[in-house]
Amino acid sequence: MPTILVVEDDDAIRTAMVDLLEGMGYEVLSASDGESGLTMALQRTYHLLLLDLVLPGRSGFDILRELRQQKPGQAVIILSARGQEEDRIKGLQLGADDYCVKPFSVKELLARIDAVLRRTHERRGLADRTEIAGYTLDSLTNTLQRDVTTIELGEREFTLLTYLYQNRARAIAKDELLQNVWNVRPELTGSRTVEMHIANLRKKLPAELTITTTRGVGYQLHLP
């Protein structure tokens, strides 16, 4: 079973999450503050990080920044009471794969964990490297590379770009992306997750690679 690292300063919530995950068969590591959480996040081996944002010492955002530098492919779900749009956008921009606002149900948490772990496993099953218009899309490091240029992508950004590339002959509807990249039912979400990730991806991509929006149809990746 996968190993999950829980970084949460609230003792009751952390204990409940550890008990729940261990009861589901996961191996669980845990930390109660930002300093120990950062150390474990960088030095230990695990499959998924469940990360609170407001922590004693280093914040969850600090941990995300360090992970993006040293372990850019690490899967992360933010669990936070801070549900403002700017916090969600910042978390996604720093590489988080999902953002779950407290309070959340056990079913919701387990579903999000399952979705992120499944995507990670499926992505690892792809070819390690894919050539895109002279760039190398590397699934082992979550990067887009050419010569001395390296563009770091979050886990979800990598999966999104891969899906757009594999279906580059057509515009892809938001609902299709939610189903195949996020593994969620479109009718059950009203979030702007797709739009935010598309915007973040556009900022990172080189000028040769563009994502266009066709109103009422969807998004399409264009190559030179």
* CATH 1.10.10.10 boundaries in the chain: 126-222
Q: How open is the CA angle 194-180-125, to the nearest 5 degrees?
A: 120
Radius of gyration of the chain (CA): 17
> How are strands ordered across the β-sheet holding 149-152?
129-132, 135-138, 143-146, 149-152
Residues ≥6 apart with Cβ < 8 Å to 163: 172, 177, 180, 181
* CATH 3.40.50.2300 boundaries in the chain: 3-123
Indicate the fold that domain 3-123 takes in CATH: Rossmann fold (3.40.50)
Q: CATH second-level architecture of 126-222?
A: Orthogonal Bundle (1.10)
Please give the average pLDDT of every successive group of 10 residues along the chain, which has 224 residues.
91 94 93 94 88 93 88 85 81 85 89 85 59 85 87 87 88 86 66 87 93 92 92
How far is CA 64 from each of CA 41, 68, 206, 222, rounded to the nearest angstrom? 9, 6, 23, 30
What is the model's pTM? 0.59
* Phi and psi, residue 11, nearest 5°: -60, -45
